[in-house]
Homo-oligomer: A and B are copies of this chain.
């Protein structure tokens, strides 16, 4: 065992805040970093100390490995927590951290290297006798055509170093294969500095099911109830829920045990997630990849289990053993949790990112409503980073109540003038298919007609017009008031202001 006293959080936005909050609860010092563009961003106020690390461009700040390690040493940190994104799955950085005598709050770097390569991680899963999706590597274009033909179109091209849909392409026709591989390679290069891509069978009734797990350094493992993350746009999740409405408890247990097996085979410790594709028609699951980091959607698991995953990451990094058994964990699970990702994107305009200043910002509050946010009134949605404003998580005794709570909470989430996907999310939580738990990864495209551009008649037209006129009046009145007030400036009677 070793004691961590001060942690540098090498991230920004909601995840930096979420990590720092737990550090405070543990009595551990939190050191923040920020780019030039983040000088006034929300996360720095949660740090005990914060350091400027470079230009807005991520490469020159949040991806600047040397600079971050320098800051960690200068600030006398004994550990680095990478959050998700940026350097979180960079095994070179993880090694560099340890070579500099700092603790890496995450899995072993060699394990990260092996799992980070998707092709390699498939081999690890196969070694553990866990099924992987049919597919293979791309040696040359002819072989790629051969493999794609054998699997049958549509097929998927995926980045070997990838994640989050970056570098992923769906190909419907062999004539598009070459161009798609090219684009995917470029995207992969841009996002992960590694152009390797591979081909996978595309499953029609596919469900994205994933298992959060924990492994300590003594071989004790815990798997949590599955999260279903099938509601996606641009191959990126926007809604996650746990438990899944798709699979039964027996399958959940089977997949959970498979996850632990894969992680152990890979020599993993810390928190991680194994992603699976579940073919509902065939009732089969396939290993997809391991996310060797804390995930965006980890709060869903926290809400139904009562654990603090970041605190447990710290425990494991401090070489403490896990304290509860799988059976104890299973029995304490209760209720249903859902997460909505609040992206600054215009859902009615092909999810075009909506850049700019948030002038009006009001978060929902209440029992069982959790908002993990990196923004407040006056924050700028910046071009340089992910347009995730916040994660809205609800917990309720059952799925029906959770969906209603989510719908009410989304209605109470007021953001302007930046556009967000809240209107789309509200439509989803009112959609019969979603409410019935009958959705797969193609949900959004299948029901696009119901979900987008659905302007209903308003119930509040009179009220809205009255309010518009009232505000006009008030504005006018305020000017009159301010004017008369300025004639007798109570506050400034002493008038000693020096410019």
Contacts and interface: CB of A to CB of B under 8 A. Distances in A.
Nearest to A367: B370
Contacts of A480: 486
Contacts of A21: 366-367
Contacts of A18: 367
A491 interface: yes
A384 B301 CA distance: 44
Interface in A372-397: 372, 395-397
A56 interface: no
A26 B401 contact: yes
Nearest to A395: B306
B397 A308 contact: yes
Interface SS of A by simple majority: helix
A25 interface: yes
A473 B494 CA distance: 12
Most buried by B among A27, A311, A476: A476
A475 interface: yes
A379 to B, nearest CB: 15
Nearest 7 interchain pairs by C-beta:
A331-B331, A482-B482, A306-B334, A479-B486, A25-B401, A332-B334, A332-B332
Given A306-B334, A472-B492, 5 more contacts: A21-B367, A25-B405, A307-B397, A475-B492, A478-B482
21 contacts: A24-B404, A24-B408, A25-B396, A25-B405, A27-B404, A305-B334, A306-B397, A311-B397, A311-B401, A328-B331, A331-B332, A332-B333, A332-B334, A366-B370, A367-B370, A472-B492, A473-B497, A475-B491, A476-B497, A479-B489, A482-B482
